[in-house]
Structure 1
């Protein structure tokens, strides 16, 4: 899975929402308010970086968090099941 490249599903947009005071994922049917961890991961999902590169960037940004591969993969698996992202 680490070699796969995630990207947001067409029609989905990740953005900061001042009214919610949080990052959100907007899609045609609604909106999902994201917690800090989900926001940090989705901020790295650009359709160019593979999961291994995303993990490396997050571990560099948040060294106190320790190894993040399992957490990132678990979140992306959930996001895939929710149809927020696709993997190529």
Structure 2
């Protein structure tokens, strides 16, 4: 899937992000199970609110981590993987 940075990611129905104390990490919960997230993935997915576009999310991450270079491409690549895993869908 080729993403347009003006698209808005949102969690697929039945999927949600939450802190899981037992795992000591954020996880994606879904009907078939759970996926444990690393810190970077959790930081990105915490910005998914159904209103912010990919550009908005990239802008928020750039403001939070100004020392990071090439962040935009990494974020888009992450969302392509999240889409392939069926965690998120996109709205134009």
- TM-score range relative to shorter protein: over 0.9
The CA RMSD over aligned residues, in Å, is 0.8
Residue pair 1:59, 1:67 contacting (<8 A) in 2 also: no
* Paired residue secondary structure (2:67): helix
> Which position in structure 2 is the counterpart of 1:14?
17
> Which position in structure 1 is the counterpart of 2:84?
81
Cα displacement string for residues 7-59 of structure 1 (whole angstroms, at most 9, x for unaligned residues): 00000010111111100000010000000111011000111000000000011
Structure 2-normalised TM-score? 0.92
Runs of 4+ residues deviating >2 angstroms: none
Gaps of at least 5 residues in structure 2 are: none
* Paired residue secondary structure (2:35): strand
1:69 aligns with 2:67: no
Structure 1-normalised TM-score? 0.96
Residue pair 1:2, 1:52 contacting (<8 A) in 2 also: yes
Gaps of at least 5 residues in structure 1 are: none
